Amino acid sequence: AQKVTQAQTEISVVEKEDVTLDCVYETRDTTYYLFWYKQPPSGELVFLIRRNSFDEQNEISGRYSWNFQKSTSSFNFTITASQVVDSAVYFCALKSFGNEKLTFGTGTRLTIIP
Amino acid sequence: DSGVTQTPKHLITATGQRVTLRCSPRSGDLSVYWYQQSLDQGLQFLIQYYNGEERAKGNILERFSAQQFPDLHSELNLSSLELGDSALYFCASSVEVGHANYSTDTQYFGPGTRLTVL
């Protein structure tokens, strides 16, 4: 069975602070894919990043960075110098090779206080 | 904009009724997925179609059905609606690539249809 845990239900930080969203996953599969999606107040789900299980290289995209650690089954997401536009619910998701569905965590609601 | 379109954006109906949600995938994508987002269940996978055929099934109720048409758009039919069916319904699409016909591609989501059952 697959499981994604986002233990942080809600986080509030002041604008320009850095913030890290945690994601821990469980799977018995050796090949799998991890994703982060953003759901702003408007409601749509926006794809942010995908990471394959065989690629543990961390990634940075502007103010966003992702830390994938297989040893701890974690795929954490850091926003540097947060902005009000970053306020949203962020979902971590897991997909195993051979399984068509995405398994989502419960999401972390991030509020950036101006 | 993901390129996935969903109509209608909002739908308000009464218990016992039937509704149809429509989804058009991104150009070139053969797979369509349906997800339900509710407060108590979170984001749950319902069903997947690939090039017109059902590929995978998740937590989809028997009152719900879906299909994918030759032009690759998909419809999700919800019948005998109950209050608990009120939710945000998402469609996603992906290109079918990978080995053994399993998709390894990213799923891109539409804006969702918010269904309210009164």
Q: What is the pLDDT of residue A54?
A: 87
Contacts of B71 (CB under 8 A, 6+ apart): none
Residue with tokens 């879906």: B66
CA distance to A48, B51, B73, per residue, from B67 (Å): 28, 10, 9
Asked if A104 lies within 8 A of B58 by C-beta distance, the reply is no
- Write out the two tokens for B15: 């218990």
The amino acid present at B61, given as its one-letter code, is L
Predicted confidence band at B99 (pLDDT cuts at 50, 70, 90)? Answer: very low
CB A26 within 8 A of CB A2: yes
Write out residues in chain A with pLDDT < 70, as ranges. Answer: none
Give the Cα separation of A94 and A26 in Å (integer).
9
Give the separation between CA A90 and CA A82, rounded to whole angstroms: 14
**What pLDDT, on a 0 to 100 scale, did the predictor assign at position B96?**
66
Which of B41, B48, B106 should be substituted to probe chain A, the one whose Cβ sees the most A Cβ atoms within 10 Å?
B106
Task: Give residue ranges of B with CB < 8 Å to any A CB.
Answer: 2, 31, 33, 35, 42-43, 45, 48, 55-56, 58, 88, 90, 92, 98, 100, 102-104, 106-112, 114
> What tokens appear for A57 in the block?
């290289």
Contact A43 B114 (CB under 8 A): yes
Give the Cα-Cα-Cα angle B4, B8, B13 (nearest 5 degrees): 145
Does residue B26 carry a pLDDT above 50? Answer: yes
> How many CB atoms within 10 Å of residue A15?
13
Residues in A 53-112 with any Cβ partner in B closer than 8 A? 91, 93, 95, 97-104, 106-107
pLDDT digits (tens, 9 = 90+) for B38-94: 988 899 999 999 999 999 999 899 999 999 999 999 999 999 999 999 999 999 999
* B98 has a pLDDT exceeding 80: no
- Beta-bridged to residue A88, according to DSSP, are A110
- In this complex, the residue of B33, B42, B102 whose CB is nearest that of residue A104 is B42
How far apart CA B6 and CA A114 sit, in angstroms, is 33
Q: How much is the mean pLDDT over chain B? A: 92
From the list A44, A91, A98, which residue is nearest B102 (CB)?
A98
- Tell me if chain B has a CB within 8 Å of the CB of A48: no
> For a pLDDT cut of 90, what percent of chain A falls above it?
80
Binary contact (B2, A91; C-beta < 8 A): no
Instruction: Tell me what pLDDT residue A21 has.
Output: 98
Give the whole-angstrom CA distance, residue B23 versus residue B113. Answer: 10
pLDDT at position B97 over 80: no
Quick: pLDDT tens for A23-46: 999 999 988 999 999 999 999 999
The tokens describing A112, both together, are 């950036």
Which residues does chain A have within 8 Å of residue B56's beta carbon, measured at their own beta carbons?
Answer: 99-101
